Amino acid sequence: MLSASTLPSAQARLLEELSEELRALDDRALRRRLTVVDRIDGPWVEIGGRRLISWCSNDYLGLSAHPALAEAAASAARDWGVGARASRLLAGSTRWHARLEEALAAWFATDAAIVYPSGYLANLGTLGALLSSRDVAFVDRLAHASLIDAVRRTPATLRVFRHNDLSHLAMLLSRAGGARRRLVVTEGIFSMEGDACPLAGLAELADSHDTLLYLDDAHGAFVTGATGRGTPEAAGVPHERFLYMATLGKGLGAQGGFVAGPSPLIDYLHSRAGAFLYTTALAVPVAAAAAAALRVLAEEPARREVLRRQAARLQERLASLRLPGAADRTASHILPLILGEAERAVEVARRLWDRGCWAPAIRPPTVPEGTARLRLSVTALHTDAHIDMLIDALADVIT
Ligand SMILES: Cc1ncc(COP(=O)(O)O)c(C=O)c1O
């Protein structure tokens, strides 16, 4: 490694500027640090010799460590190797990618599906391919950063509507008559709020304004709806009303992102989505594991029921504590506890840690200023005793 004195001066200056910015982030409790997990055992994690219950995993159905996924990944790694070796359009499209896409299309009853190496890339690639300078995108104010980043990178006009506020959206839509495409971008279950989007009303509004709907169902796919077909199924709105995107790394316990839809859309993305074209394909064992997860879900529907029951239990127990900042509108497996300033959220997270509960502080810019929070996510792996332990800890820590 070069010492400071041998660094080129431009780089030494850059590092000095970055260090200064890091100090400023530290002063505002906004600096991020990685927590290295040494071992995972169901909902338990081991970190630096401490065993804690994790309340921050998105492996909602507990599939990530399922033996069928592990075996599918191990077997694919033995037969195919690990890396996909190239982008999908070069040598990277294996039979496992094709099988996974066919299985996703069958799951959502669409013509086809396209898999990206992550959900972030799926949003970047898809929205980037669909939006031009002649278009207007209407994005919910609390939509995930990947959606906002994706739209901002396009030359389309960005309009932000108040969270889940259909009247505000209607007003903005009525002012965008001249656009080639109008595209509403929102989430099925909001990643940091845990509340659902009013899908039925939204679909009606979009129809009446001849407008497209892009639904990111990262936190609803495979988890919500009577058969795990996601928030459209839960809301009773046909899937084809949406341009439907979701991830493989949450409810499915694997990794990746996808769009499931009509053939012309998927074919177009094969040719025009930069984040699909210019990146190495999803690792083959991961594609095989995701395909196995779909089979497990079909065979073990009770996992969704366990998750629903445990989410309801945590919601009820939280409501009975009457904690300041507990959202009253959450009815999902994501439960935010809004604490205000970043310093307070960090302090509460630290005290929970001392009581064996891992729920890191979520701070701006991930959430709006003044709404730093704990984001508790329940999984099918949490037992009643784990929930009781969290509730006791919260009752002690938040006053
Ligand atoms: C709503 C939403 N969309 C997209 C993503 C990105 O997905 P991935 O983690 O697969 O990149 C996330 C992940 O955190 C998310 O919460």
Centre of ligand 1 to C-alpha 247, Å, is: 7
Within the chain, all domains assigned CATH 3.90.1150.10 are found at 27-56+301-397
Mean pLDDT of the region 1-7 = 70
The angle that helices 145-152 and 119-130 make with each other, rounded to 10 degrees, is: 30
Active centre residues (catalytic): 58, 144, 187, 191, 216, 219, 250
Kindly state if the Cβ of 119 falls inside 6 Å of ligand 1: yes
For residue 399, pLDDT beyond 90 = no
Within the chain, all domains assigned CATH 3.40.640.10 are found at 67-299
Protein residue closest via CA to atom 8 of ligand 1: 119
Residues 84-130 have pLDDT tens digits of: 999 999 999 999 999 999 999 999 999 999 999 999 999 999 999 99
Within its chain, how far is the Cα of 190 from the centroid?
Answer: 9
User: Residue 5: which pLDDT band, with cuts at 50, 70 and 90?
Assistant: confident
Report the distance separating Cα 149 and Cα 144, nearest Å: 9
Calculate what percentage of the chain has a pLDDT beyond 70.
97
Centre of ligand 1 to C-alpha 258, Å, is: 11
Centre of ligand 1 to C-alpha 146, Å, is: 7
User: Residue 398: which pLDDT band, with cuts at 50, 70 and 90?
Assistant: confident
Nearest ligand 1 atom to the CA of 143 is 1
Residues 171-184 have pLDDT tens digits of: 999 999 889 999 99
For residue 2, pLDDT beyond 60 = no
Residue type, 135: D
Kindly state if the Cβ of 216 falls inside 6 Å of ligand 1: yes
Q: Topology of domain 67-299, per CATH?
A: Aspartate Aminotransferase; domain 2 (3.40.640)
Residues 283-329 have pLDDT tens digits of: 999 999 999 999 999 999 999 999 999 999 999 999 888 877 666 55
Centre of ligand 1 to C-alpha 182, Å, is: 23
Residues 6-24 have pLDDT tens digits of: 899 999 999 999 999 999 9
Of 56, 118, 124, 247, the one to substitute when testing ligand 1's pocket (max ligand atoms within 8 A of C-beta) is 247
For residue 229, pLDDT beyond 60 = yes
Kindly state if the Cβ of 144 falls inside 6 Å of ligand 1: yes
Name the H helices within the chain: 9-27, 67-80, 95-107, 119-130, 145-152, 166-174, 199-208, 231-235, 263-272, 274-277, 284-299, 302-321, 342-354, 384-397
Of 56, 60, 146, the one to substitute when testing ligand 1's pocket (max ligand atoms within 8 A of C-beta) is 146
For residue 1, pLDDT beyond 60 = no
Is the overall model pTM greater than 0.85, yes or no? yes
Compute the mean pLDDT over every residue in the chain, rounded to the nearest whole number: 95
Protein residue closest via CA to atom 9 of ligand 1: 119
User: Residue 26: which pLDDT band, with cuts at 50, 70 and 90?
Assistant: very high
What is the dotted CATH code of the domain comprising 27-56+301-397? 3.90.1150.10
pLDDT computed for residue 329 by the predictor: 55
Report the distance separating Cα 263 and Cα 114, nearest Å: 10
Kindly state if the Cβ of 242 falls inside 6 Å of ligand 1: no
For the chain, state the CA radius of gyration. 22
Report the distance separating Cα 217 and Cα 337, nearest Å: 22
For residue 386, pLDDT beyond 90 = yes
Among residues 245, 242, 246, the alpha carbon closest in space to that of 232 is found at 242
Centre of ligand 1 to C-alpha 11, Å, is: 33
pLDDT computed for residue 20 by the predictor: 98
For residue 331, pLDDT beyond 90 = no
Residues 334-372 have pLDDT tens digits of: 999 999 999 999 999 999 999 999 999 999 999 999 999
Mean pLDDT of the region 375-394 = 97
Report the distance separating Cα 63 and Cα 61, nearest Å: 5
Of 56, 64, 120, the one to substitute when testing ligand 1's pocket (max ligand atoms within 8 A of C-beta) is 120
